[in-house]
């Protein structure tokens, strides 16, 4: 997933943040800084270094994921971002305001107006209706009843729960409860959402539905989201960037492509094994440039000659501003020549497969089941950016295998020397 370029300003900056649980804080951090493992430090000091020297920025409108196994420190770090846990050292800057050193009153205001949180255990109030649960935060803010109701119903519609407003919580399924929790966060209209493994307790099918719902909503509203998960597929599917954590440290930070193609440590390499690359890789990773194309205003004779020289059985047709108009076969172009047409504007067929630059390859694979024509890749403005053929698709999906094979050969050569 690509972050829109206009949303590139950091809204949260985490600088040298550590969190120690126990009395010997200074000694524990000293030993950890000297290279002792988390386990060794715990044995020596009876103190837990939950987070050690975390550094990263989260950009406005970004979905930033903290990924790691149980005990890696990801949930503790998330709670530092809204002051539920106070760092032992370091700074957490929310638009240049240090959350780590705010009063309780100021922290409450930030949680109420700026930073919302969605937990795995949604924490809904059983004695309230769905709508009342969703608008509870607005009620605490003193928002008038009519405005609360409108925002609550808008949020319900956004999460696909129209008609459920007056049900009680016990009448809902697990997936519906999670949607209510998400709607509550959306209705509060906080700019930043912290999400702590919100979908991990759901059945696989419901979980995929929730992930798709999240992506659809985020595409529309573009909130800043920090998302915690232990599921690498989920992290790389939902996030613009991810921080991989182990024993309280961030061991790699980057995009899905960075982490998949260049794992920074053996731990990360083991973590990415078995990832479904078709869910992670995007159309732009499999496309190749369109070397030969036609303008809809060109003479058919010119295009026919171009196709024969380049041995093409079909050709993409674009407008003057390079927007994709359609595709024509060699036979269709020959027909236009025989009819003495002056251009292709009336002949272009829009019966073609086209996908967006950032569309996952998993959604593109079915297009190659029967068709032999290339798939066009376009941007937000329908401009032709490239094409995907069967060979380029296979190459993209097997790139990791080739990298691993090359790495193994290099290691073998070093060992033989």
Which tens digit of pLDDT belongs to each residue from 176-232? 888 888 888 888 888 899 999 888 878 888 888 888 888 888 888 889 999 999 988
**269 has pLDDT over 80:** yes
Give the C-alpha separation, 31 to 24, whole Å: 11
**125 has pLDDT over 80:** yes
33 and 83 co-located in one domain: yes
Residue 313 lies in a domain: no
83 and 206 co-located in one domain: yes
Asked whether the beta carbons of 128 and 148 are under 8 A apart, the reply is no
82 and 205 co-located in one domain: yes
- Which has the higher per-residue pLDDT, 40 or 199? 40
Residue 172 lies in a domain: no
Residue 104 lies in a domain: yes
Q: Which domain holds residue 293?
A: 285-299+318-326+350-396
Tell me how many domains the chain contains.
2
Q: What is the pLDDT of residue 412?
A: 46
Give the C-alpha separation, 353 to 337, whole Å: 25
- The residue behind tokens 């060109």 is 298
254 and 378 co-located in one domain: no
**252 has pLDDT over 60:** yes
83 and 231 co-located in one domain: yes
**34 has pLDDT over 90:** yes
Q: In angstroms, what CA-CA distances link 241 with 95, 101, 319?
A: 20, 27, 35
Task: Flag whether the pTM goes above 0.85.
Answer: no
**Please, what is the end-to-end C-alpha distance for the chain in angstroms?**
42
Could you tell me the CATH number of the domain that includes residue 47? 3.40.50.300
Q: What does residue 161 show for φ and ψ, rounded to 5 degrees? A: -120, 35
Q: What does residue 94 show for φ and ψ, rounded to 5 degrees? A: -105, 100
Asked whether the beta carbons of 43 and 49 are under 8 A apart, the reply is no
237 and 93 co-located in one domain: yes
Residue 156 lies in a domain: no
Residue 150 lies in a domain: no
Could you tell me the CATH number of the domain that includes residue 290? 3.90.1280.20
Q: How much of the chain exceeds pLDDT 90, in percent?
A: 39
pLDDT average, residue stretch 294-314:
91
196 and 270 co-located in one domain: yes
pLDDT average, residue stretch 246-260:
90
Residue 234 lies in a domain: yes
Residue 200 lies in a domain: yes
289 and 270 co-located in one domain: no
Rg over alpha carbons for the chain, rounded to the nearest Å, is 26
Q: Which tokens belong to 179?
A: 């949607």
102 and 25 co-located in one domain: yes
Residue 58 lies in a domain: yes
Q: What is the pLDDT of residue 117?
A: 85
Asked whether the beta carbons of 182 and 214 are under 8 A apart, the reply is yes
Element (H, E) at 258: helix 256-261
């Amino acid at each position: 997933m690509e972050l829109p370029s206009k949303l590139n300003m950091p809204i949260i900056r985490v600088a040298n943040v550590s969190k120690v649980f126990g009395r010997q804080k200074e000694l524990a951090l000293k030993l950890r800084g000297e290279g002792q493992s988390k386990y060794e430090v715990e044995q020596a000091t009876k103190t837990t270094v939950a987070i050690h020297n975390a550094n990263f920025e989260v950009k406005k409108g970004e979905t930033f994921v903290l990924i790691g196994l149980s005990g890696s420190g990801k949930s503790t770090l998330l709670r530092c971002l809204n002051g539920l846990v106070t760092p032992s050292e370091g700074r957490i800057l929310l638009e240049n305001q240090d959350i780590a050193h705010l009063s309780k009153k100021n922290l409450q205001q930030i949680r109420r107006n700026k930073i919302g949180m969605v937990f795995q255990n949604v924490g809904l109030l059983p004695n309230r209706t769905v709508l009342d649960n969703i608008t509870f935060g607005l009620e605490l803010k003193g928002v008038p009843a009519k405005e609360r109701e409108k925002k609550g119903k808008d949020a319900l519609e956004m999460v696909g729960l129209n008609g459920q407003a007056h049900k009680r919580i016990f009448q809902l399924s697990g997936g519906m409860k999670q949607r209510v929790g998400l709607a509550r966060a959306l209705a509060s209209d906080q700019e930043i959402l912290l999400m702590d493994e919100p979908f991990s307790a759901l059945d696989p099918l419901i979980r995929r539905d929730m992930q798709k719902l999240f992506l659809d909503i985020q595409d529309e509203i573009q909130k800043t989201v920090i998302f915690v998960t232990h599921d690498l597929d989920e992290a790389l599917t939902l996030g613009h960037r991810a921080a991989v954590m182990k024993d309280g440290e961030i061991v790699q930070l980057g995009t899905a492509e960075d982490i998949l193609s260049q794992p920074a440590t053996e731990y990360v390499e083991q973590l990415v094994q078995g990832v479904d690359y078709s869910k992670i890789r995007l159309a732009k990773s499999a496309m190749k440039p369109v070397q030969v194309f036609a303008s809809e205003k060109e003479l058919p004779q010119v295009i026919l000659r171009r196709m024969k020289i380049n041995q093409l059985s079909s050709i993409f047709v674009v407008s003057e501003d390079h927007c994709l108009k359609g595709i024509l076969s060699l036979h269709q172009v020959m027909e236009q020549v025989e009819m003495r047409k002056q251009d292709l504007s009336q002949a272009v067929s829009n019966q073609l497969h086209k996908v967006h630059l950032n569309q996952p390859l998993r959604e593109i694979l079915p297009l190659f089941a029967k068709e032999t024509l290339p798939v066009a890749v376009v941007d937000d403005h329908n401009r032709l950016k490239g094409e995907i053929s069967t060979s380029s698709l296979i190459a993209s999906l097997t790139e990791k295998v080739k990298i691993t094979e090359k790495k193994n050969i290099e290691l073998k050569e070093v060992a033989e020397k």
